Amino acid sequence: MRGGRPPVYRTYNFAVGFDPSQPIVSVLEKVLDQAGAEGIPGNFKVVAIGDGYGIIPAEGSPLDRPISFPSAERTADATFQIIFNAATAASGHKVSGPSGIANNMFFQAVATIGAEGEPARDVIVRLLNDMRWRSRRRIRPF
């Protein structure tokens, strides 16, 4: 761990009293309410991201900042680095990303993507949706 607090992991059991007809936003907001009641620090909010939802800092995030870079086909890893560098420059806060096993996957995937004044978070979602595996040649024995 590099400085700061260790991550907080909690399991929430909504099986009792959970109404499956409830919108997922309501369920996520209950998670935030329960976390606050347990004294977990920070103010967070639920936002729509792409066709899903995320829980982000209520005070704002470096990923809220608009970024721009030219469209080109790159590895997903290279595109993530461009996004993180642009978000760092736009926000003044260091933004970094995946490593280890996930990073290996991002070296093998490609995407053709650019951004023009879009929130970094939206660009990341678009990248994840547009990633595809590079075609590989098969070597055939004689």
**Residues whose CB falls within 8 Å of the CB of residue 62, separated by 6 or more in sequence, listed in order:** 87, 88, 90, 91, 93, 95, 120
Let me know: does 47 contact 125? Beta carbons within 8 Å: no
Residue 101 has pLDDT above 80, yes or no: no
Of 20, 50, 127, 39, which is closest to residue 81 (Cα–Cα)? Answer: 127
The structure tokens 């959970």 sit at 18
- Summarize the confidence of residues 41-58 as an average pLDDT: 80
> CA nearest 130: which of 80, 70, 90?
80
Q: Is there a contact between 97 and 128 (Cβ–Cβ < 8 Å)?
A: no
Return the pLDDT at 12: 55
Q: What percent of the chain has pLDDT over 70?
A: 75
pLDDT for the residue 2: 46
| Comparison of pLDDT for 96 and 11, the residue scoring more | 96
Mean pLDDT score of the chain, rounded to an integer? 79
Q: Give the residue with greater pLDDT, 52 vs 83.
A: 83
Helices (H), 1-142: 24-37, 76-91, 101-108, 120-130
Q: How much is the pLDDT for 39?
A: 79
In this predicted structure, the answer to whether residue 119 has a pLDDT above a threshold of 70 is yes
Whole-prediction pTM: 0.67
Mean pLDDT, to the nearest integer, of 95-118? 81
Confidence check: pLDDT of 11 > 70: no
Give how far Cα 25 sits from Cα of 6, 52, 95, 117, 126, Å: 27, 10, 27, 27, 21
Mean pLDDT of 63-73: 95
